[in-house]
């Protein structure tokens, strides 16, 4: 064990890694409830997506733990699942099979990038301000979705949107669930989102808003409904190049940023460099590709991994333990399906995760017009257009225009000009 994970070298033990694994699991297990709930709105089978979510997470996290030896967990990313369900499928009317094909292609490209140094070129080409804006915009987008799902915000014939009826039982319970999770967060309870969902579920059952299943435990089933249903040919006939690029772009820099942050927290960076970065990125790339084959949206490294690092996790053994715990969830699909069907249980998670993602806005230089205004457009246009890709595209178009106007064209990476042109063509000629 010590030889495989270098426990003594990193100043940890099996007991410490076990505690770290359990802690990380409790902070991120909400995704096995929320992700199938979101993707099933596209017509995908809930149980199939549930199994795909768990299996893709296990595969990617095991690779991270066994080959990269980092205490980092990988699972379908929040925001990416919303983009898949509400923009690509729901907004553009793309069949979910074709959307899975786009995820698969993005995953293959990610694998190729992970094996070459071009990944650094791609990451360096995107301005830091826009990276932060994309993260914040996705956060605002999924918060908006959570508010809509709970009917806290509803459509209006006069103002497009308005405040919903807060006395409606499900909406009122959502607000109670949100308060519960916020209180747990304020008191720094590990797994506050998961425990908040469970407490809300108990309240929903007490007030007759949740019907318990006949059995809580059942053999895993349903994967056949989503596995290998992807349509790769349809991606090209539908011209979903911007979708592929969006999946790839968000997964690449979100995963890289999260991994660097967690590794720095764990003291595993060497001279500010990320050792074994190829294996770490490959873990996520393989997870995304595997997830597309099985039936789920792209995976990403989870910032919740930092909770395990905070209690001493320093090696891949933490990730392996999380994988084993995730495998156990496969037996609880009946109760998970019920929990995911109640908006009051899942909506608070969307709202809070969105809030946490907005934190990066403070890192944008708001006094710098050509940096701040494109970032502002990305953040506001994602929810207003109901499209992550459109928000990114318009920000990417405006950024180089402002730089050129201000006489700073050399500050823009040559590749970024190509991105701007491609998004311009996509938005102007193909979006509608």
Can you tell me the mean pLDDT for 100-110?
97
151: phi > 0 → left, psi -120 to 50 → alpha, else beta; which? left
CA distance 111 to 109: 5
Strands 299-301 and 160-163: unpaired
Write out the chain in H/E/C secondary structure: CHHHHCCCCCCCCHHHHHHHHHHHHHHHCCHHHHHHHHHHHHCCCHHHHHHHHHHHHHHHHHHHHHHHCCCCCEEECCCHHHHHHHHHHCCCCCCHHHHHHHHHHHHHHHHHHHCCCHHHHHHHHCCHHHHHHHHHHHHHHHHHHHHHHCCCEEEECCCEEEECCCCCHHHHHHHHHHHHHHHHHHCCCCCHHHHHHHHHHHHHHHCCCCCCCCCCCCCCCCHHHCCCCCCHHHHHHCCCHHHHHHHHHHHHHHHHHHHHHHHHHCCCCECCECCCHHHHHHHHHHHHHHHHHHCCCCEEECCCHHHHHHCCCCCHHHHHHHHHHHHHHHHHHHHHHHHHCCHHHHHHHHHHHHHHHHHHHHHCCCCCHHHHHHHHHHHHHHHHHCCHHHHHHHHHHHHHHHHHHCCCHHHCCHHHHHHHHHHHHHHHHHCC
Q: Compare 122 and 262 and report the one with higher pLDDT.
A: 262
Query: 255-278: string of b/e by CB count within 10 Å (b at 16+)?
Result: bbbbbbbbbeebebeeeeebeebb
CA distance 71 to 216: 30
Count CB-CB contacts under 10 A for residue 200: 28
* Per-residue CA distances from 327 to 61, 97, 323 (Å): 12, 25, 6
pLDDT digits (tens, 9 = 90+) for 409-426: 999 999 899 989 988 887
Give the angle 384-385-390 at the CA atoms, nearest 5°. 125
Can you say how many angstroms the Cα of residue 420 is from the centroid of all Cα atoms in its chain? 24
Lowest mean pLDDT among 77-81, 249-253, 338-342, 345-349: 249-253
Task: Give the chain's mean pLDDT.
Answer: 91
Highest mean pLDDT among 184-193, 288-297, 412-421: 288-297
CA distance 297 to 288: 7
Can you tell me the mean pLDDT for 129-138?
90
Residue 412 · residue 395 · CB < 8 Å: no
The rounded percent of the chain whose pLDDT value lies above 90 is 67
pLDDT digits (tens, 9 = 90+) for 278-289: 888 999 999 999
pLDDT digits (tens, 9 = 90+) for 203-239: 999 999 999 998 999 999 999 999 999 999 999 999 8
What is residue 296's predicted lDDT score, i.e. its pLDDT? 98
Positive or negative, the CA dihedral 276, 279, 282, 284 is negative
**Backbone dihedral angles phi then psi of residue 298, each to the nearest 5 degrees:** -60, 145
CA distance 107 to 290: 8
CA distance 106 to 98: 13
Token digits for 311?
A: 């209690």
Q: Is the pLDDT of residue 344 over 80?
A: yes
Place of tokens 């193909």: 430
Query: 77-92: string of b/e by CB count within 10 Å (b at 16+)?
Result: bbbbbbbbbbbbbeeb
Listed residue (399, 428, 370, 118) closest to 248, CA to CA: 118
Lowest mean pLDDT among 36-50, 96-110, 245-259, 405-419: 245-259
CA distance 41 to 340: 11
Instruction: Look up the pTM and report it.
Output: 0.87
Lowest mean pLDDT among 81-85, 226-230, 252-256, 339-343: 252-256
Token digits for 407?
A: 């006489």
pLDDT digits (tens, 9 = 90+) for 360-392: 899 999 999 999 999 999 999 999 988 888 899
């Amino acid at each position: 064990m010590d030889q495989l994970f270098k426990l003594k070298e990193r100043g940890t033990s099996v007991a410490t890694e076990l505690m770290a694994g359990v802690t990380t699991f409790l902070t991120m297990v909400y995704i096995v409830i929320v992700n199938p709930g979101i993707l099933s709105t596209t017509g995908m089978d809930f149980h199939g997506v549930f199994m795909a979510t768990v299996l893709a997470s296990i595969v990617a996290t095991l690779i991270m733990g066994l080959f990269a030896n980092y205490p980092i967990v990988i699972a379908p990313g929040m925001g990416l699942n919303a983009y898949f369900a509400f923009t690509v499928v729901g907004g553009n009317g793309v069949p979910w099979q074709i959307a899975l094909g786009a995820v698969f292609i993005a995953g293959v490209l990610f694998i190729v990038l992970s094996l070459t140094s071009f990944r650094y070129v791609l990451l360096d080409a995107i301005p830091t301000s826009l990276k932060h804006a994309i993260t914040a915009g996705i956060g605002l987008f999924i918060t908006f979705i959570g508010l809509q799902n709970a009917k806290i915000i509803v459509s209006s014939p006069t103002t497009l949107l308005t405040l919903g009826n807060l006395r409606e039982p499900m909406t009122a319970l959502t607000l109670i669930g949100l308060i519960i999770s916020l209180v747990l967060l304020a008191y720094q309870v590990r797994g506050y989102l998961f425990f908040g969902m469970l407490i809300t579920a108990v309240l929903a059952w007490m007030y007759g808003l949740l019907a318990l299943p006949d059995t809580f435990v059942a053999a895993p089933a349903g994967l056949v409904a989503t596995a290998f249903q992807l349509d790769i040919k349809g991606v090209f006939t539908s011209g979903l190049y911007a979708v592929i690029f969006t999946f790839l772009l968000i997964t690449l820099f979100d995963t890289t940023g999260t991994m660097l942050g967690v590794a720095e927290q764990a003291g595993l960076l060497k001279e500010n460099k990320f050792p074994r970065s190829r294996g770490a990125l490959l873990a996520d790339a393989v997870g995304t590709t595997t997830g597309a084959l099985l039936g789920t949206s792209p995976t990403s490294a989870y910032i919740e991994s930092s909770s395990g690092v905070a209690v001493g996790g320093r090696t891949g053994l933490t990730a392996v333990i999380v994988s084993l715990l995730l495998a156990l969830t496969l037996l609880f699909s009946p109760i998970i399906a019920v929990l995911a069907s109640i908006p009051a249980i899942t909506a608070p998670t969307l709202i809070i995760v969105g809030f946490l993602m907005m934190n990066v806005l403070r890192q944008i230089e708001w006094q710098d017009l050509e940096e701040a205004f494109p970032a502002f457009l990305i953040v506001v246009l994602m929810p207003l257009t109901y499209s992550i890709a459109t928000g990114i595209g318009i920000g990417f178009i405006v950024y180089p225009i402002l730089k050129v106007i201000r006489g700073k064209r050399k500050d823009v990476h040559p590749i970024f000009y190509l991105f701007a042109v491609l998004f311009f063509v996509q938005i102007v000629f193909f979006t509608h």
